[in-house]
Amino acid sequence: MSKKILKYISIIVGIFVLLIIYLSTIGIETEKFNKQIQDLVKQKNNKFDTSLKKIKLTLDPFNFKFNAKTIDTKIIFGDKIIELEYIKTQISLNSLIKNQLVTSHIEISTKPILLKNFVSFVRSINDKPELFFLERFIKKGYLIADLEFNFDEFGKLREDYKVNGLLKDGKISLFKKNELEKINFLFNITGNNFSFTDISFDTNNINFLSERLNIKKNKKDYFLEGNIRNKNSPLNEKLLKTIKLKYPQFNLINANFESDNDFSFNINNKLKVDNLAINSNILIHNSQFKKNNLISNNFSEINDLIDLKDHEIKASYTNKKLSIEGKGQVKLQNKFEFIDYEITNNDSDLNLVLNIQLSELDIKNQNLIKGYFPKTKEILNLKDHKIKLNYKGNDLSLKGSGKIKLEKELNKIEYFFSTKDNKYKFETNLEINDTPLNIDFINYTKDKNLNSQLRINGNYTKKFGLDFKKISLLSKNNSLVIHDLIIDKNNKLVKVDKIDLDYFDNSGKKNKFTFSRTKNNDYELNGSLFNADSLITSLLKSKDDQQLDLFKENINITLNFSNVYLDNDNVVKNLNGKLRIVDNRVTKANISALYDNSENLTFTIKTKDDEKITTLFSSRAKPLVKRYKFIKGFEDNNEGYLDFYSSKKDGIANSKLIIDNFKVKEIPALAKLLALASLQGIADLLTGEGIRFTDFEMNFTNKNELMTIKELYAIGPAISILIEGYIDENDLISLRGTLVPATTINRSIASIPLIGDLLIGKKAGEGVFGVSFKVKGPPKKLETTVNPIKTLTPRFITRTLEKIKKN
């Protein structure tokens, strides 16, 4: 009995084992659960429908579950279809017995499906805003995916789902002018973590590759981090314009580059990006940079398009701060030069540090430089310059050193320039070896072969003008130093604290004096030596009413010189006095000095009730008179004096000039011929002593550009002259007068002492007494009329006699 029981049990167990083996390996197919699956799908979304084939069940004996699998399933929603390769799940034995589909795990593998359809399908399950925008952005592409889902005991989806797959040939249009196309990548999604690898896409004709992109969902947003790179690609106009909108200073064109970039950022459901961080290695093979106004204003000779080549750049962007370190080559004119730079941009604040090594650069000469260095060329050549440029916000500083060719040789130069808050600072240290330097107002010219050092530092503001802290020009035996010189925007002198000059001028004369400010607008001009020769010549040539247009404020100057050269032969000592300058006109002056033998020189100006009275007296006339071109070879033997008086009111100046006891070695040809008519004249010319005049007096008026000579006469033993007329500076000269040689005199006049030496004429009836003349016409084409006269004019004789009696 027991054997039979054992036999039946063995048969049953065998059948059970065979059944388990069959169900585990071959399984069974059924449509029993199709209706439940369709109803479950519709329960989740009534717009969904499914197309299912038979479900194949295979036993999992160790877990007491059945594995269920169906192939070629379709999910239909609207006019879209999602085709699935298969669906796999597990069903418990209890569910199978109760004829209910209860599962805790599902695996789905899709066939290639359109990316846009897949996003629409996901939106139909969970309609999040970001999915709406993503669906609108997608233009094309398809994907293949494997999905795994787990459910809790209540049928709710767990967060540990897994999705693996690939995307092929995707295209997304973010904006009208920016598209991502040819998108390919592998993806792996686990719960809230998204991983993308082997990524490639094109945008603006640039092919980008990425090894990874990881996305992690946080509470309110997504965190993305990854890598992206591109091979040698052109940076097209669309992307360049986008960069220029953010950074208008970087005006690049025709860029060709490659890059490797690591990035991370957060993005919320409204596609707002936060905490963007990018680290990049960029190689710009070639590009061009459009010259901006900052470069144009200071370096006009630089190319309009600056070429860049082989630039290696490290860039990072974190918390809205961009940092760039780069180096490469740049062509400013004809040759590529090495350059390295650091750039930081915090929101809208741009900071730039640039180092450049220039082997050669041409810059345009400026009028200011040309005025002091007349021999310099229109284009100045820079050689072997090392330049460091800092740009921060709107502030710029530039520091450099190298060599500059002013004429033929190279001279060392160091310089610094900066702008901050609309204030410009500058420093220059320049060697001047091979070119002359002219400073006309102090009669100084640096010899071409004299090595000199020029240093300038100061600042400039548009509102206040130039403030020179120090200017110095140093060379052997010459020192010119200026401290705290301020010139306003209208080029007028506001103040100067001190000018210290010790130099040899163009006449070889030593000058040593100091011009210093004592307080406010009071100045002192003190020195041991001063050559006033060129200054006097300039003053005598200037108009009486000429305005200095030099000083901004009214000033007082106290003079104190030990020795002053009036010319090469005449020196005055102890020159002292005061000047008052109001509205750039000398309104008050009182200056005096002594010659060697206690002869004096005085100059005064007094202004009262709009009348300006000027006097000048010099015991020696020669230092002043010889400067006029129409009087050549003037001699006074240190005996003749000069006395000048002028009164000016309402624009009209009435003046008198008296010169006593002088000789002229060279006089016009007509005067020479007439001088030969007297024995004294012949003797003077033959001995080379010149024609001597004992008296000269001129009464004249000036108004605007017209000089009216009321009366001019000169009396001498050889010849005498009487002139009247007018001279218009621009248009006309009109003079008339009498020029008569001296011989003998009739007895009625000869009774006056010395009249034979002073009066002009011949014995009555013995021929021509002299000539009358007229000079008339424009300055460049004068007409002269000469007529003989039989008798001397009564007026001329009367004036001569009055002069003799007076003396």
Residue 398 CA to residue 417 CA, distance in Å, equals: 5
Instruction: Name the most confidently modeled range: 6-20, 383-397, 747-761.
Output: 383-397
Q: How confident is the model at residue 727 (pLDDT cuts 50, 70, 90)?
A: confident
pLDDT-wise least confident of 228-237, 423-432, 469-478 = 228-237
- With tokens 């009262």, the residue in question is 608
d(CA 201, CA 185): 9
Q: How far is CA 460 from CA 11, 429, 447, in A?
A: 113, 18, 31
Say if residue 606's pLDDT is above 90: yes
Return the structure tokens found at 405: 């060719």
Which has the minimum average pLDDT: 93-97, 227-231, 548-552?
93-97
Range name among 191-195, 365-369, 427-431, 766-770 with the lowest pLDDT average: 766-770
Q: CA 199, CA 184: separation in Å to the nearest integer?
A: 6
Q: CA distances (Å), 723 to each of 156, 710, 720, 737, 762, in order?
A: 129, 8, 10, 4, 21
Residue bearing tokens 């001009």: 525
More confident residue, 633 or 692: 692
Is residue 403 within 8 A of residue 387, CB to CB? The reply is no
Strands 555-565 and 522-531: parallel
Most trustworthy range by pLDDT among 5-9, 173-177, 341-345, 397-401: 397-401
| Mean pLDDT, all residues of the chain | 76
The secondary structure of 721-744, three-state, reads EEEEEEEECCCCEEEEEEEEEECC
> Measured between alpha carbons, how far apart are the two ends of the chain, in Å?
188
Q: What's the pTM?
A: 0.67
Which residue type is seen at 78?
G
Burial grade of 212 (CB within 10 A; 0-12, 13-18, 19 or more)? middle
Cβ atoms 337, 356 nearer than 8 A: yes
Give pLDDT, residue 245. Answer: 53
Neighbouring residues of 807: CB distance < 8 A, sequence distance ≥ 6: 694, 695
Tokens of 206: 């640039």
Rg (CA), the chain: 53
User: What phi and psi values does residue 20 have, to the nearest 5 degrees?
Assistant: -65, -40
**Residue labelled with tokens 């009214």:** 554
Provide the pLDDT confidence category of residue 753 given band limits of 50, 70 and 90. very low
With cut-offs at 50, 70 and 90, classify the pLDDT of residue 89.
Answer: confident
Return the ∠ at Cα 325 (arms to 324 and 329), rounded to 5°.
120
Is the dihedral angle over the CA atoms 722, 726, 728, 732 positive or is it negative? negative
Contact 252, 235 (CB under 8 A): yes
Per-residue pLDDT for 765 more than 50?
no
Say if residue 171's pLDDT is above 70: yes
Residue type, 62: F
Higher pLDDT, 593 or 409: 593
Instruction: Read off the tokens for 19.
Output: 């059944």
Within 10 angstroms of residue 718's Cβ, the number of other Cβ atoms is 28
Residue corresponding to tokens 């899709």: 110
- What element of type H or E holds 182? strand 178-190
Q: Which of 494, 478, 470, 407 is nearest to 443 (CA)?
A: 478
Least confident of 64-73, 188-197, 746-755: 746-755
The two structure tokens encoding residue 801 = 């006699």
What's the pLDDT at 259?
87
More confidently predicted of 132 and 637? 132
